[in-house]
Structures are given as structure tokens and as C-alpha cells.
């Protein structure tokens, strides 16, 4: 099991070490950041985050309860308080040794719980590149529905990547957790 805690400056080095290739950076953040990640770019990233009601994003590190080790990263941003909606982004299970262990699903479910139960959201969406099959499966297992595909949205290494758009609604979340 995992716990989500706010991502802070003292977490920068670990995230920079995890995101150690341009390909991984693209999977993690699309074109939001340039490779390599830097302390300065991460400083900009967390500027819009705080625990106050006017937050535009909540950025978390995932901590393994048993060991206390930081094992992942996830954010809930694009908040619209008026529409009670948000978008999950920048999901990463850090070390390869922790892949294929259900950690992505645990992180996703934990951030959904925050969104629906603590923040009172009605809709949470996300986008995942079509070539990221492991993430796509994680989100389907977490209760997301595919809404459509934004075709050829990102040019990387001479190839266009399409993004699968997904969402889950408050009543769907409640039904899964009844």
C-alpha cells in the first residue's frame, strides 16, 4: 500500500534521477519540460501548488507504507472548481524494480480518492500516449473509461503519437468503492 504526500523541493533530485532519458520524460510529461529535468524547471512546476483552496494543482510523491521509501509521483491539476473537474497528469512509478506491481493503480486510486472524497470533484480525466500500454491498462483497471483519441498530438523522434483521452465520473467512482 502507498500514501500520497506533497511533492517538495527535497524530492527534486530523486525525480530528476528517475526521469533519466528523453523518452521517459516525454511519456511522463509530454512537451511540458525539456530534457534533462532541472531544479529550476521543477521549481516552476511546484509554484502553482499549495494546500489552499485556490490551488491549481496538487503534486504528490507516493510513499510505500511498509518501508517509507518514495516510489512514485502523480499530480492532480487543471482544477476547475466551477465545473468540479480536474486532470491527472505526470504519473510515474520511479524505479524499474517497482514496475508491474500494481503501484500505478494504487497511486491512481489514491489520487481519485482525494479528488472525489476530499475535493468534491465530479469528473477526473487524463490522457495517455497510445504506445504506453502499461499505463493504459492501469487506468482501465482503476475505473477510467476511454472517451476518444487525440490523433497525432505529439511529434517525437520523427513519429507522431496519439493520446487516448479517459475519464471517470463521481458516480462511477462511488459504484467501484461501494
CATH number of the domain encompassing residue 109: 3.40.630.30
- Cα distance between residue 30 and residue 21, in whole Å: 13
Domain limits at 98? 2-176
pLDDT at residue 125, rounded to an integer: 98
pLDDT at 167 over 50: yes
pLDDT at 91 over 70: yes
- Cα distance between residue 124 and residue 52, in whole Å: 19
pTM: 0.92
Beta strand 2-6 pairing with 70-80: unpaired
Polymer length of the chain: 178
Total domains in the chain come to: 1
Confidence of residue 178 (pLDDT cuts 50, 70, 90): confident
pLDDT at residue 54, rounded to an integer: 53
Q: Check residue 166 and give left, alpha or beta (phi > 0: left; psi -120 to 50: alpha).
A: beta
> Average model confidence (pLDDT) for the chain?
92
Task: Go through 57-74 and write b for each residue having 16 or more CB atoms within 10 A of its CB, e for each that does not.
Answer: bbbbbbbbeeeeebbbbb
pLDDT at residue 96, rounded to an integer: 82
Find cell 504506445 and name the residue. 131
Q: Which tens digits make up the pLDDT trace of 10-62? A: 999 999 999 999 999 998 998 889 999 999 999 988 875 544 445 578 999 99
Amino acid at each position: 500500500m502507498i500514501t500520497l504526500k506533497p511533492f517538495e523541493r527535497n524530492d527534486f533530485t530523486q525525480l530528476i534521477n528517475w526521469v533519466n532519458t528523453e523518452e521517459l520524460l516525454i511519456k511522463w510529461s509530454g512537451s511540458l519540460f525539456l530534457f534533462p529535468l532541472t531544479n529550476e524547471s521543477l521549481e516552476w512546476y511546484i509554484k502553482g501548488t499549495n494546500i489552499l483552496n485556490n490551488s491549481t494543482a496538487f503534486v504528490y510523491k507516493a510513499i510505500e507504507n511498509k518501508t517509507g521509501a518514495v516510489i512514485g509521483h502523480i499530480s492532480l491539476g487543471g482544477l476547475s472548481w466551477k465545473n468540479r473537474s480536474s486532470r491527472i497528469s505526470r504519473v510515474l512509478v520511479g524505479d524499474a524494480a517497482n514496475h508491474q506491481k500494481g503501484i500505478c493503480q494504487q497511486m491512481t486510486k489514491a489520487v481519485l480518492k482525494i479528488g472525489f472524497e476530499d475535493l468534491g470533484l465530479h469528473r477526473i480525466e487524463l490522457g495517455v500516449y497510445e504506445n504506453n500500454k502499461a499505463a493504459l491498462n492501469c487506468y482501465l483497471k482503476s475505473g477510467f473509461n476511454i472517451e476518444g483519441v487525440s490523433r497525432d498530438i505529439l511529434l517525437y523522434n520523427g513519429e507522431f503519437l496519439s493520446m487516448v483521452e479517459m475519464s471517470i465520473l463521481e458516480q462511477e467512482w462511488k459504484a467501484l468503492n461501494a
